[in-house]
């Protein structure tokens, strides 16, 4: 059988071999990895794999690799420090104005580079009703919380009824203005992003944002774009999230195609994540200088509309920091040097330099989520 004719979700080493996504000689390797980490590949994404290409960027994201069992000393089970910032089960409060709620620990696909790979997988389940109620109580009690991010796992794998229950419970809190859902479902199983799912995400008077995860332009098929259109038609704002992955998208042409595909699908490029220090993911990471160089090349070729922010989640739970290239070098005398998108440097005299420095000194350094 070839991947193109696959009709069911692939969840085991045998499934991957049977579908032609790995040779039978790789079964022991796949099984060794499967003993630690879940396997999941949907028909929609399996159909995109070109089995004749040993470096296929779609297959690479979902077919296990023996290198996943090699752990660098810097890698950790909880790479972005969720646990340290979790006042109640399933909720992470890292920034004053927003929280994460991890509604479910299952996904339609299991990405080999997942930053929560130690926590997600079949059988890992859904946040219990009591835990969800406690999370809602926490949000209600903290008036500074303006945005709630629903994540997991993939929260769009829940039924429309469960999604609507979560939406309405949070939307009933006056100070919550924005509900942001992080999902891979529009590319992994676009047929499951129905009008009913899109409607379940909406709440009167609140802004719904859907952050769509994709890493290669080929993932944004016509079906995936239709799923995005259904979300937009119901009123969702769409933003992207991608991970910079060695061998998948670590070259300028692939990243440019991906960012343009997002915009064509009505998705504003938002984040390009530097790979987190999840166990067994060294082979996925690209050096930060290379990531910055790629961002420089993107900025030279793409409009701001199509350019994401390159971010690093600081290990230990300290939040995200933009780590893209520096475009300006400030001199103490107000004489600055600005680099244009083509890499040419220009002088800029900032007559307000001293005032600006004063503002910078008195402002806390902020991170983003």
Closest to ligand SF4 by CB, 284 or 310: 284
CA 89 to chain centre: 22
Least separation in angstroms between CB 213 and ligand SF4: 6
Tokens of 69: 């069992």
Least separation in angstroms between CB 45 and ligand SF4: 11
Least separation in angstroms between CB 116 and ligand SF4: 5
Least separation in angstroms between CB 109 and ligand SF4: 6
Name residue, tokens 């620990």: 105
Closest to ligand SF4 by CB, 213 or 285: 213
CB atoms within 10 A of CB 67: 14
The span from the first CA to the last CA of the chain, in angstroms, equals 42
Closest to ligand SF4 by CB, 107 or 265: 107
What are residue 336's DSSP bridge partners? Answer: 348
Least separation in angstroms between CB 182 and ligand SF4: 7
Closest to ligand SF4 by CB, 95 or 110: 110
Least separation in angstroms between CB 121 and ligand SF4: 9
The Cα–Cα gap between 137 and 128 comes to: 14
Closest to ligand SF4 by CB, 3 or 151: 151
Least separation in angstroms between CB 71 and ligand SF4: 18
The Cα–Cα gap between 294 and 8 comes to: 37
b/e per residue 107-137 (b: at least 16 CB within 10 A): bbbbbbbbbbbbbbbeeeebbeeebbebbbe
Q: Which residues lie near ligand SF4 (CB under 6 A)?
A: 107, 109-111, 114, 116, 120, 152-154, 184, 213
Least separation in angstroms between CB 110 and ligand SF4: 5
Closest to ligand SF4 by CB, 48 or 171: 48
What are residue 242's DSSP bridge partners? Answer: 272
Name all contacts of 55-61 with Cβ < 8 Å and 24+ positions apart: 55/247, 57/215, 57/216, 57/218, 57/247, 57/248, 57/249, 57/254, 58/216, 58/218, 58/219, 59/3, 59/21, 60/112, 60/245, 60/247, 60/248, 61/111, 61/112, 61/113, 61/215, 61/216, 61/245, 61/248
Closest to ligand SF4 by CB, 173 or 215: 215
Closest to ligand SF4 by CB, 38 or 297: 38
**Contact yes or no for 102/153 (Cβ under 8 A):** yes
Task: Look at residues 4, 25, 3 and name the one whose alpha carbon lies nearest to residue 15.
Answer: 3
């Amino acid at each position: 059988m070839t991947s193109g004719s696959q009709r069911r979700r692939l969840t085991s080493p045998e499934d991957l071999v049977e579908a032609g996504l790995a040779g039978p000689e790789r079964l022991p390797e796949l099984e060794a990895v499967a003993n630690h980490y879940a396997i999941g590949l949907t028909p929609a994404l399996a159909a995109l794999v070109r089995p004749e290409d040993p470096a296929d960027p779609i297959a690479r994201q979902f077919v296990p690799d023996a290198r996943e069992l090699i752990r660098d000393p810097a890698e950790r089970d909880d790479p972005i420090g969720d646990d340290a910032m979790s006042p109640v089960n399933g909720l992470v409060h890292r920034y004053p104005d927003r929280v994460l709620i991890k509604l479910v620990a299952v996904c339609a696909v299991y990405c080999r580079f997942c930053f929560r790979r130690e926590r997600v997988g079949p059988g890992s389940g859904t946040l219990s009703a009591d835990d969800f109620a406690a999370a809602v109580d926490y949000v209600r009690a903290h008036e500074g919380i303006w945005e709630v991010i629903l994540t997991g796992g993939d929260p769009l794998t829940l039924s429309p009824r469960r999604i609507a229950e979560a939406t309405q419970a949070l939307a009933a809190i006056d100070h919550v203005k924005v509900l942001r859902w992080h999902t891979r479902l529009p590319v992994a199983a676009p047929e499951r992003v129905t009008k009913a799912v899109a409607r379940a995400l909406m709440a009167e008077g609140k802004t719904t944002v859907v952050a769509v995860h994709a890493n290669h332009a080929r993932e944004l098929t016509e079906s995936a774009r239709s799923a995005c259109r259904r979300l937009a038609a119901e009123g969702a704002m769409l933003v992207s999230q991608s991970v910079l992955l060695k061998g998948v998208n670590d070259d300028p042409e692939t990243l440019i195609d991906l960012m343009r595909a997002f915009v064509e699908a009505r998705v504003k490029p938002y984040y390009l994540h530097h790979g987190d220090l999840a166990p067994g993911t060294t082979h996925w990471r690209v050096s930060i200088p290379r990531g910055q160089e790629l961002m420089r090349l993107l900025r030279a070729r793409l409009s701001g509309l199509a350019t994401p922010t390159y971010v690093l989640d600081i290990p230990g739970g300290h939040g995200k920091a933009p780590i893209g290239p520096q475009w300006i070098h400030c001199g103490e005398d107000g004489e600055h040097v600005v680099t244009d998108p083509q890499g040419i440097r220009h002088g800029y005299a900032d007559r307000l330099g001293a005032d600006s420095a004063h503002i910078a000194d008195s402002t806390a350094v902020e991170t983003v989520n």
